[in-house]
Amino acid sequence: MRSDEIKSGYQRAPNRSLLRSLGVTEREMDLPFIGIANAYNTIVPGHVHLRQLAEKVREGIAAAGGVPFEFGTIGICDGIAMGHEGMRSSLPSRENIADSIELMVDAHRFDGLVCIGTCDKIVPGMLMAAARCNIPTVVLTGGAMLSGYHEGKELSLIDVFEGVGKVAAGTMSEAELCELECCAMPGCGSCQGLYTANTMACMTEAMGMSLPGCAAIPAVDAAKLRIARETGEAILPLVNRKITPKKIITKKSLRNAIRVDMALGGSTNTILHLLAIASEAGIALTLDDFNDLAEQVPHICDMQPSGLHSMQTLYRAGGIPAVFRQLGKILDDCPTVSGRTTLRIARDATVRDETVIRSTASPVHEAGGLKVLKGSLAPDGAVVKCAAVPRAMWRHKGPARVYDGEQPAMKAILAREIKEGDVIVIRYEGPRGGPGMPEMLSPTSALVGLGYTKVVLVTDGRFSGGTRGPCIGHVAPEAAVGGPIAFVQDGDQIEVDLFLKKIDLCVDTKTLQKRKKIWKPLHKSLKGALARYAKTVEQANLGAVQT
């Protein structure tokens, strides 16, 4: 066992002495040591209940013949960080989480690992660490929050964000917004729709790194406690059989995750995270893989924010195993941490509601819910959740309204300076220029709340999984490194065509070359973690990983 390096032989007497001070018994010295990386804290709604889940995981590990050791990782709530400078810290936290787990695993020579996390950057960071450390690992995702409720309507956090725009438009009073604020988020768990946190939970299950059914179980359901116990039990067979993450996270399993992503119409952020996980696992995954699979996999679940259904509804309809069943042999047959293969899970699953999880013969849309666009504005790619874009806006050409940062754009939107037909360009918010690719949920929600229907938003930053409408992010190369988005000027025509997967700046090459000669990048004074991040981070089309 790997843990023998800290507990076997007379030379390790000092190490064992420290272990004994923790209460480790003589019998336990001969058992596998299992680390539990827990993102529990009391500032993130998706994490506040993870202490209880960790208790069940510990019980499962001990019952199955292991010795559990729990340690913490950080976790940032993107919703609380949204719309201000704190949002720049969110994506860099993914790398911090991966690093901290790696350091704990390497220092303490665990034989196996259980990762307990929820929310946008935590689960990706844990998966990156799992691939990097490559010791047997199971991931337990914490589950979604129940829907809010007000005056006969189910609510989510997006209703509150969009309410800000409605107040600015004069169609909602501040008192009415306060009522929404108090009703939308009824307790623990990740935000209710298929936003980034829940999409990543689904991706984790789809790639085989969590137990079947885990992703969609609500945070407060007793089934989540039961699967936590089963997760603890499941790590020991993996340790005994030496089944490591790189045997589970393969090119085929990542393609399965992409297929499920397309079928669900998930968050654009999953592209960023799956690329980063692939990088850690040494797998060649590119934006082209996403576009190829988007054409092969229909969109079969009409999920919030653009659709009708919450994660709780997906759970009641059968969860990810039922999605597997509907996709059938579109999926590759891959091993999972449960010991069952993907297609075996699909065969065993039941689709409880085909109006929620449709058949591939009767999809919501014929093609997948995400697209990668390329063109003169984004030579290395940009991403859009096409499932959330009205078909009337799949083709659009309009004048650019350019803003060097989210805050000036938000002020212009709330002041009603934007006109229908405009293409809002928010730049210097990329991996290096932001730094940290802050999400743009505040501007996108404000546009919806104000009633705009024909405005496109383009950024080298990111969009929340809660975003809906014609919002194109991850433009690469970003403005800070001299990508074409840096040279856009007010009034330039920008053309978007989701059918052809194109995004073009309609300015001739000579004019752009002249602009480039006099261009000076926007300078930001940085220190600490963000300064280090900005120096080492790659572009969005490479997963925004640090090198």
Which residues are marked as active site?
Answer: 464
Residue 117, H or E segment: strand 112-117
Instruction: Say which residues have a Cβ less than 8 Å from residue 134's Cβ, sequence separation at least 6.
Output: 244, 245, 246
Residue 426, H or E segment: strand 423-426
CA distance 116 to 40: 8
Length of the chain as a residue count:
547
Angle, helices 287-296 vs 251-264, to 10°: value is: 60
Cis status, amide bond into 438, omega within 30 of 0: no
CA distance 374 to 497: 10
Strand order in the sheet with 493-497: 371-373, 381-384, 471-476, 456-459, 423-426, 395-403, 493-497, 502-505
CA distance 255 to 300: 17
User: C-alpha distances in angstroms, 306 versus 143, 193, 217, 303, 389?
Assistant: 20, 9, 21, 7, 8
The answer to whether residues 477 and 287 touch, using CB atoms and an 8 Å cutoff, is no
Give Dmax (Cα) for the chain: 76
Helices (H), ranges, 297-389 = 311-317, 319-327, 342-348
Placement of tokens 């959330």 in the chain: 388
- What is 372-441 written as a DSSP string? EEBSSS-TTEEEE-GGGS-GGGSEEEEEEEEESSHHHHHHHHHTT---TT-EEEE-S-STTTTTS--B-H
Residue 431: name the closest of 530, 505, 527, 528 by CA: 530
The answer to whether residues 46 and 77 touch, using CB atoms and an 8 Å cutoff, is yes
CA distance 467 to 9: 57
The answer to whether residues 456 and 472 touch, using CB atoms and an 8 Å cutoff, is yes
Helices (H), ranges, 46-89 = 50-64, 78-81
> How far, rounded to the nearest angstrom, does the alpha carbon of residue 219 sit from its chain's CA centroid?
17
